């Protein structure tokens, strides 16, 4: 049965496993495909990246042989930037564009200067832990676990460099719709979120949800409802049956 694939990119410091619980909450016509990044999860032994475009091209080459249209891309925070770069990298390799790009919880590529201020140089362990506290996504118990932090902080350090050293470039716009999700109390401003409209010549939308940076977990049901709603039009266009899906 034809399905629409949803490729998901993780946020800074995270493994693709952060999306695993979505699998049982999505309709049957929507196939979840979390993309693991080098240096974490099952790919822990691989070197970490600090260059966004090199990472995107590596991922594109890895999946191009098995990628089947239709597909959509979703990324939160770092993952949103990477998802956008992945769409361009796949197009450069001759693959079809996604039917939609979901950019969640971060400033647009052209409006990163203020958002990523201070992230272009490696941060100390203490600075990284302070940043985690600011984002309100990690408990004090976890932050105090030295063994766990020793595993997490190198990944987080590299991921912050991925964002801090990223620079936008002039190129052909994407043609797919771009759907932006933002947290009402997150640090990404309305202007920074709307700036994603400059990445496509297709349609554009912004949905604001209650909560801070990790609204995708705090309001997971709403996030999944929005994704499903935006992609349902593509399901119908590609004549993908609903099957026995429930929502």
| Residues identified as active-site | 77
Judge whether 212 and 76 are in contact, CB under 8 Å. no
φ and ψ at 218, to 5 degrees? -65, -30
Residues 6+ apart with CB under 8 A from 181: 102, 103, 104, 105, 206, 207, 208, 209, 215, 216, 223, 226
- List helix spans (H) across the chain: 52-63, 78-92, 125-135, 140-143, 146-164, 190-194, 215-218, 220-237
């Amino acid at each position: 049965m034809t399905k629409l694939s949803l490729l998901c990119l993780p946020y800074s410091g995270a493994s693709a496993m952060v999306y695993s619980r979505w699998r049982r909450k999505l309709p049957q016509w929507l196939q979840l495909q979390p993309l693991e990044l080098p240096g974490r999860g099952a790919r822990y032994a691989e070197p970490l990246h600090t260059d966004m475009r090199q990472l995107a091209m590596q991922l594109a080459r890895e999946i191009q042989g098995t990628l089947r249209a239709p597909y959509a891309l979703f990324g939160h925070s770092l993952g949103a930037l990477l998802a956008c770069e992945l769409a361009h990298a796949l197009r450069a390799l001759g693959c079809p564009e996604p039917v939609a790009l979901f950019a969640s919880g971060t400033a647009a590529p052209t409006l990163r200067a203020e958002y990523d201020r201070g992230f272009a140089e490696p941060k100390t362990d203490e600075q990284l832990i302070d940043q985690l506290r600011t984002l309100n996504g990690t408990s004090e118990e976890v932050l105090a676990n030295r063994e766990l932090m020793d595993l997490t902080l190198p990944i987080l350090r590299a991921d912050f460099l991925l964002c801090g050293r990223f620079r936008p470039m002039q190129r052909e716009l994407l043609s797919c719709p771009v759907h932006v999700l933002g947290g009402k109390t997150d640090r990404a401003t309305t202007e920074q979120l709307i700036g994603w409209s400059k990445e496509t010549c297709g349609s554009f939308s912004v949905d604001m949800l209650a909560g801070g940076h990790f609204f995708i977990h705090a309001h997971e049901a709403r996030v999944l409802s929005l994704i499903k709603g935006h992609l349902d039009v593509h399901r119908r266009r590609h004549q993908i049956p609903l099957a026995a899906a429930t929502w």
